[in-house]
Structure 1
């Protein structure tokens, strides 16, 4: 049954991509969906490209191990990226009318070198993340469907590569949004069922508080005792805060997030999309975090803990609900994989291949080059994923740190500073990238334990920022680059729309209501029961 459901869902997504792809006529359509995407599609793609299967494995595993509040602290800090992202970077990115973010940086600094360097980081960083997601989904498929790894890998790659080749960004946006609905429904339904099957929130809290295998797992710092792996309670809180800041930067500037704003029909759709994404993350993660911890009341010995949600779908939930859960996991993974594949393919064909940039955005020949690049990247991922040993979570976190360090300073300074030059931008990208790589290699090769406050993304960000300032001090900024930035500062008259402004204000008010409601839910379903049980 599970095999049929998974394969049918794959086929449905590809067919949707085919239908959407029939309306793709130009390079602008293929790369940025013609800049016509409404708020719903921006929201769906933002959340879907963030979640991936890592949310249903790594985040579930963290909560199952006894750290659900830490996960929520990290989330609340990181989701500020959805509010700040479109305001301090995304809307200016959209005004530039470029097809890729490396092209934006190239134009801002009037430098082909900067564009190529940024394109290389996309290919390397996003490619690594894509590899991690692909390996994780293939391992999951081979286990659940009882097929060998190579077959699972091939089926998976054919599914998301064909979807991306056929439809480009419009297909990715539409299928991302559908998958967003699927995995959000799966998380809320499945974890809601778990909590109520165990007697409801108050009973679950009372039973977990007395669960000897997970002492203090309901406390903000999470698990204590011999099995705790997050250090002291203080270390755990610092970890959540720092990782939250890192992911807030990633959400603000990473290509798989900020590129969504380029596709919005207007700047208001970008801002509203970010606000709805933040609200959706709250609604999604609260039941996921507490439901994952509650799985210990069924079985507290699931190993590895990243398989807790999958185990529950197969062994605990009713068959129909388990099928929904598995569809949610695969939807989350496929949506991210298709987004990442399109980004790598676009950078290969547009940012690295200088000849392809000379093709006008109305030319279909540009899409042919991008499709060939996507096919080549998909084939390369298959070979590497088959040969290389899986390191799913490690690779995903590594790729995120790369962009926080190498893109964070340069993207923000490109918009908000007139001092930074092409030389400074190159130095910033290169130094941030190499710092993260060097620190990760040192940690792996020497078994060095780097303190959390010296996280590679934080150190890399600081070095990248300093390198930008130092390298920019010896030369004046390009006149063309300065003029490009000055033009970005002018709000287009089309964006001054009273109706759109009212919709945006209403969305921000709704986000405030959802945030307050989430606090209320946590108060009645978590804080009061914990207080009554633990005093």
Structure 2
């Protein structure tokens, strides 16, 4: 149930982001764009299932990566060329400290002081580290991999890719403010660049890449919701078995109902793509994080401890977020996710003092700690051992690139 609630919140954010893109690119109103997006991803997911989602994920990855790398030189050139574009963005009077290590701070900014910005970045970094490890939309993809070697290798390439994409995307997007500083909402900045700065052919790739990423997320989330309702709630939690045909029909009906609820929320709630996304991420980091690691490595965790850990972590985050509605402003180092994690870990420790670990549970845990042996294991392992080296080489290259494209232009004055 926490999966369904948390992913639904995330689905609201992504649906709104896709609708903002569609409205900007097509000229239709936001409500019409939202309805079109709902029709597209709902029908796509209900008809194609997990395989269709995986194909779309792959298309999205290549489209968005290509769009980011190809748009970088065009945006930099339009903003004054290198290194002038970076220097102008760093010294822009309307956005002081835009490219500083802490970003824009002060009374009118999201963060009050540089150290609050640093604390927030560290907390969010840890949260997303946990989310990538245990969240349902990530873990479901690991389970689809051919074997664990493939999952590890894909994870390394994904890490390298996301670091380089973020580096080029964030630097180029920051320079757009020197061309047009009043783009609102801020979610439209890259879309505006696609329609006003880069050549038309590249703008099509950018918009297609963003749309593919939105469809990828929407379809992934909706498919997981349908699967959770049928496999987890209807079958496993009730210890019942149904035919695949019955479960497929139930899954499709549940996805239609949930998607309609998401549509209504999107129409009533103004777009807040980033913040709703962060909220959903913190829900899973707090409610799933502690028990995900403890269920693998702890010999003392019981199902009672796991159950209450999820409950306290989930509602701990909601409690922390709700305090703002009553005028209580928490310091950045006491982010709602910290409240959720503390409560989750406490409930895990206390709850695990009750209940009994069965022999089957003990054997299952010992089994998952064993290294799986694949066909041609020696050959597969030799290939996998190369990947840490790839990661270290990419790290060195990213440091050099950052020095050349970020540090040097900002400090030449």
TM-score relative to the length of structure 1:
0.72
Q: How does 1:89-104 map to 2 (within 5 A)?
A: none
Q: Which residue of 2 aligns with 1:347?
A: 228
Deviation at 1:193, TM superposition (A): 1.4
Q: 2:270, 2:174 → 1: CA distance?
A: 29
Q: How does 1:124-139 map to 2 (within 5 A)?
A: 124-139=5-20
Q: 1:339, 1:272 → 2: CA distance?
A: 22
Q: Which residue of 1 aligns with 2:366?
A: 486
Structure 2: 5+ residue runs without aligned partners? Answer: none
Deviation at 1:502, TM superposition (A): 2.2
Deviation at 1:338, TM superposition (A): 0.6
Q: Is the 8 A contact 2:17 2:187 kept in 1?
A: no
Q: Is the 8 A contact 2:57 2:216 kept in 1?
A: yes
- Local SS of the residue matching 2:385: helix
Deviations 1:135-189 (A, max 9, x none): 2322332343222444323321222122222222121111101111111111222
Q: Which residue of 2 aligns with 1:452?
A: 332
Q: 1:287, 1:184 → 2: CA distance?
A: 10
Deviation at 1:131, TM superposition (A): 1.6
Measured on the aligned residues, the alpha-carbon RMSD in Å equals: 2.2
Q: How does 1:21-32 map to 2 (within 5 A)?
A: none
Residue number among 131, 148, 151 corresponding to 1:267 in the alignment: 148
Q: 1:328, 1:225 → 2: CA distance?
A: 34
Q: How does 1:55-454 map to 2 (within 5 A)?
A: 120-224=1-105, 227-354=108-235, 358-359=241-242, 363-443=244-324, 445-454=325-334
Deviations 1:121-140 (A, max 9, x none): 01100011112211232233
Deviations 1:46-75 (A, max 9, x none): xxxxxxxxxxxxxxxxxxxxxxxxxxxxxx
Deviation at 1:523, TM superposition (A): 1.2
Structure 2 residue 359 is the aligned partner of structure 1 residue 476:
no
Q: Is the 8 A contact 2:323 2:329 kept in 1?
A: no
Deviations 1:85-116 (A, max 9, x none): xxxxxxxxxxxxxxxxxxxxxxxxxxxxxxxx
Which deviates more from structure 2 when the two are superposed, residues 365-374 or residues 234-243?
A: 365-374
Deviation at 1:292, TM superposition (A): 1.0
Q: CA distance change for structure 1 residues 438 and 350 in 2, over 3 Å: closer, same or farther? A: same
Structure 1: 5+ residue runs without aligned partners? Answer: 1-119
